[in-house]
């Protein structure tokens, strides 16, 4: 993150140096529209970036915006009198009054490698996975599944305040993470703990965050499951839906400017695609040709809202074309399909400098969170069918067994080991002190402003007057 902030600072300082009114920004407001445009062109012309060919003139800067659309190929051989010439290319005229259909004749297909029994589908093409990687993928899925079960129970016991599981979506978490590198920057939504697990975040670190103790990197300021780690290039989870998407594009654009062999990936649920940030991010990424992967977990439900009430389009995958973004639909319960799709998407994003949209079809087997009872809005039989018949962990295990890479003995050892580690981590997390009260007011300003000092004073006075209303384990 600090690298992106430095890059932003460079741009801002360059902006100021050109404007020459650093201490009098009102002068900018007095400029005429034409003069502002002239300044913008000058700014684009002189912007210091790593890739010298990316911006070398205001004219080049403008024309590049439309290059990813490639619309000019459609009508370049058409006479000028038969087409409308626009900056992005020619548009052919037609005498027919014809509207573009709201739907295609057929739905977009879903890429799949393994059938329900873990057998490889004949003629399927996928990225090979080594035995070592496959075993780590499976054991991490088992660990994630076990962690979700135990932490969910801990919340029900009143030991933590909130929790949210990834039940039914383990393959999406682990397989997508396995196809990335540690240099790729992850912008999660909130159901991607498995991505962080794959990258080396320990069970103890998960427990510290959920129990909001002194060892929590967020100092207890966030809700449980709002993980984040600078070390693992995993941007902290935000409760606000879809705000991570345009942020990921900005990060990807920074990686592009610095010619890094890396991309950004942003996860979002089907409900997040109804937010304006989703559409702004796709357009932003397409125009800047940023190396970013948008990974949509279409699990059927945005809390209690079904996808039928979210959109009338053929899911999410078709939305990419409207913005000039290459897209694919994949079976989210097929670990090999997810791995292959993300692996290929990463290669295209970096090598071709373009955004990619992946829609993973899956099902949210668990409740939305511990604050939700999904049996109030969907049948229990439906949940049980997906849990028993479409479980991604079981499917991947069958494939492993077919390759003689896994056994009942290994299964028992993996599940027992995961359970012991998680229970021990919880016990240790509960022993650690809570962060001090003063930490609520730190880490935003270099020197706390007067209004924050006043708020801290009032809070301490309120605790003294009503100690019974505040937790006794928070150091004052």
- Averaged over 347-360, what is the pLDDT? 98
CATH number of the domain enclosing 385: 3.40.50.970
Residues 235 and 317 reside in one and the same domain? yes
**Residue 109: inside a domain:** no
Residues 384 and 464 reside in one and the same domain? no
Residues 58 and 145 reside in one and the same domain? no
User: CA-CA distance, 368 to 374, in Å (whole number)?
Assistant: 7
Q: What are phi and psi of 245, to 5 degrees?
A: -70, -55
Q: Percent of the chain having pLDDT more than 70? A: 84
Question: In sequence order, what are the residues at sequence separation of 6 or more whose Cβ sits closer than 8 angstroms to the Cβ of residue 383?
Answer: 365, 374, 375
Residues making up the chain, counted from first to last: 476
Residues 9 and 31 reside in one and the same domain? yes
Question: Per residue in 447-472, pLDDT tens?
Answer: 999 999 999 999 999 999 999 999 89
Is the per-residue pLDDT at 104 higher than 50? yes
pLDDT at 124: 93
- The residue ranking higher by pLDDT, 61 or 202, is 202
Residues 421 and 458 reside in one and the same domain? no
- Averaged over 382-400, what is the pLDDT? 97
Residues 450 and 353 reside in one and the same domain? no
**Residue 98: inside a domain:** no
Question: In sequence order, what are the residues at sequence separation of 6 or more whose Cβ sits closer than 8 angstroms to the Cβ of residue 471?
Answer: 434
Pure H helices in 212-334: 244-257, 276-288, 319-322
Q: Is the dihedral of CA 402, 407, 411, 414 positive or negative?
A: negative
Is the per-residue pLDDT at 290 higher than 60? yes
pLDDT at 276: 97
**Residue 315: inside a domain:** yes
Q: What angle do CA 137, 143, 147 make, to 5 degrees?
A: 145
Strands (E), 290-332: 292-298, 301-302, 305-306, 326-331
Where is the domain boundary, 43, 70, 92? 92
Is the per-residue pLDDT at 27 higher than 50? no
Residues 416 and 453 reside in one and the same domain? no
**Residue 39: inside a domain:** yes
The least confident of 58-67, 293-302, 357-366, 423-432 is 58-67
User: CA-CA distance, 175 to 341, in Å (whole number)?
Assistant: 10
Is the per-residue pLDDT at 14 higher than 80? no
Is the per-residue pLDDT at 18 higher than 90? no
Where residue 79 falls among pLDDT bands split at 50, 70, 90? confident
* Count of domains forming the chain: 3
pLDDT at 78: 74
Q: Percent of the chain having pLDDT more than 90? A: 79
Question: Per residue in 119-140, pLDDT tens?
Answer: 999 999 999 999 999 999 999 9
Q: How far from each other are the two terminal CA atoms of the chain, in whole angstroms?
A: 31
Residues 28 and 150 reside in one and the same domain? no
- Averaged over 303-311, what is the pLDDT? 94
Residues 427 and 464 reside in one and the same domain? no
Residues 425 and 449 reside in one and the same domain? no
**Residue 474: inside a domain:** no
Which string of DSSP letters, residue by residue, matches 72-104? GGGTTTS-GGGEEEETTEEEE--SS--PPPSS-
How does DSSP classify residue 312? S
Question: Per residue in 320-335, pLDDT tens?
Answer: 999 999 999 999 999 9
- Domain carrying residue 23: 2-92
Question: Per residue in 169-216, pLDDT tens?
Answer: 999 999 999 999 999 999 999 999 999 999 999 999 999 999 999 999
Region of residue 205 (phi > 0: left; psi between -120 and 50: alpha; otherwise: beta): alpha
Pure H helices in 88-198: 131-156, 170-178, 193-198
Burial class (CB in 10 A: 0-12, 13-18, 19+), 421: middle
Residues 139 and 167 reside in one and the same domain? yes
Where residue 75 falls among pLDDT bands split at 50, 70, 90? low
Is the per-residue pLDDT at 51 higher than 50? no
| Radius of gyration from C-alpha coordinates of the chain | 26
Catalytic residues: 153, 239, 368-369
Residues 412 and 356 reside in one and the same domain? yes
Question: Per residue in 272-283, pLDDT tens?
Answer: 999 999 999 999
Is the per-residue pLDDT at 396 higher than 80? yes
- The residue ranking higher by pLDDT, 458 or 51, is 458
Question: Per residue in 227-264, pLDDT tens?
Answer: 999 999 999 999 999 999 999 999 999 999 999 999 99
Is the per-residue pLDDT at 39 higher than 70? no
């Amino acid at each position: 993150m600090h690298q992106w902030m430095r890059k932003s600072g460079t741009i801002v300082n360059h902006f100021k140096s050109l404007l020459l009114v650093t201490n009098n920004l009102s002068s900018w407001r007095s400029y005429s529209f034409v003069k502002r445009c002239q300044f913008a062109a000058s700014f684009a012309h002189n912007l210091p970036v790593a890739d010298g060919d990316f911006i070398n003139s205001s004219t080049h800067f403008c024309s590049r915006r439309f290059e990813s659309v490639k619309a000019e190929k459609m009508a370049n051989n058409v006479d000028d009198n038969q087409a409308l010439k626009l900056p992005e290319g020619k548009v052919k005229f037609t005498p027919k009054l014809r509207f573009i259909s709201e739907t295609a004749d057929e739905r977009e297909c879903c890429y799949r490698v393994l059938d329900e029994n873990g057998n490889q589908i004949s003629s399927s093409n996928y990225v090979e996975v080594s035995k070592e990687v496959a075993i780590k993928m499976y054991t991490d899925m088992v660990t994630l599944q076990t962690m979700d079960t135990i932490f969910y129970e801990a919340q029900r016991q009143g030991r933590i305040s909130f929790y949210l599981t990834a039940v039914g979506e383990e393959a999406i978490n682990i397989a997508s993470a396995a196809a990335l590198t540690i240099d790729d920057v992850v912008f999660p939504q909130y159901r991607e703990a498995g991505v962080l697990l794959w990258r080396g975040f320990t069970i103890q670190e998960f427990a510290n965050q959920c129990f909001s103790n002194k060892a929590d990197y967020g100092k207890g300021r966030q809700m449980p499951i709002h993980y984040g780690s600078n070390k693992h290039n995993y941007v902290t989870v935000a409760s606000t839906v879809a705000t991570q998407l345009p942020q990921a594009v900005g990060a990807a654009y920074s990686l592009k400017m610095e010619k890094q062999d890396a991309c950004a990936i942003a996860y979002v649920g089907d409900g997040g695609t109804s937010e304006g940030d989703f559409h702004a991010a796709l357009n932003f990424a397409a125009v800047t040709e940023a190396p970013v992967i948008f990974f949509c977990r279409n699990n059927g439900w945005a809390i209690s809202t079904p996808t039928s009430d979210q959109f009338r389009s053929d899911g999410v995958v078709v939305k990419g074309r409207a913005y000039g973004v290459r897209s694919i639909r994949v079976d989210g319960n097929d670990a090999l399909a997810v791995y292959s799709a993300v692996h290929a998407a990463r290669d295209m994003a970096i090598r071709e400098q373009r955004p990619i949209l992946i829609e993973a079809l899956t099902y949210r087997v668990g409740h939305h969170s511990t604050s939700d009872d999904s049996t109030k809005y969907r049948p229990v039989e439906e949940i049980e069918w997906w849990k028993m018949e479409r479980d991604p962990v079981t499917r991947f295990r069958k494939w492993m067994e077919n390759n003689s890479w896994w056994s009942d003995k290994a299964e028992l050892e993996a599940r027992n080991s995961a359970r012991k580690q998680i229970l021990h981590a919880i016990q240790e997390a509960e022993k650690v002190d809570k962060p001090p009260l003063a930490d609520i007011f730190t880490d935003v300003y270099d020197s706390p402003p007067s209004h924050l000092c006043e708020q801290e004073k009032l809070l301490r006075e309120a605790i003294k007057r009503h100690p019974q209303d505040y937790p006794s384990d928070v150091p004052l």
